[in-house]
Amino acid sequence: MSFFYKKGMTVIEILVVVVVLGIIFLIVIPQFSKMRENQALKNAVGEIISSLNKAQSQTLASVDSSSYGVHFQPDKVIIFKGAIFSVGDANNETIDIILPAIILTSGNVYFNRLTGSSAGINSISVGIPDGPQKTISISATGVASVN
């Protein structure tokens, strides 16, 4: 009595593996997209807080005997010299915000030269279109925090 053993995989086994892998990919791929968006939002918030801290530090250090401020546009943050933002000023330092994150609040924050206290807008909203948002609050003393 001789038994003949088949070696290899059947078409049904291959189809089952392909279907299982397809289901796994359908579950996993959207999560990577959300992770990317959340990371872009975290990076944007970090860039904004760093810019605010830098402007306040430069003001308190009286760099070039001046005060400094931060101007917000949807896709960039601009550190400027003085209490008034000027678009074409050569001293402006531009920091680009990486898409898909955008700044939802436009305006300026500038810091008092002697105390470091802030004036101008006191909160900045940053978000992903049709996605999560974060708000950065600036206290009267110039301290930025994320809500």
Low-confidence residues of the chain, pLDDT below 70?
1-6
The domain 36-146: what is its CATH number?
3.55.40
Residue 45: its pLDDT value, please? 94
Residue 131: its pLDDT value, please? 86
| Domain spans in the chain, listed from the N-terminal domain onward | 36-146
Residue 2: its pLDDT value, please? 60
In 3-state terms, what secondary structure has residue 146? strand
Distances (CA, A) of 115 to 43, 52, 63, 87: 28, 15, 14, 26
Residue 28: its pLDDT value, please? 87
Residue 15: its pLDDT value, please? 94
Nearest-angstrom CA–CA distance, 110 and 107? 10
Residue 3: its pLDDT value, please? 66
| pTM of structure | 0.79
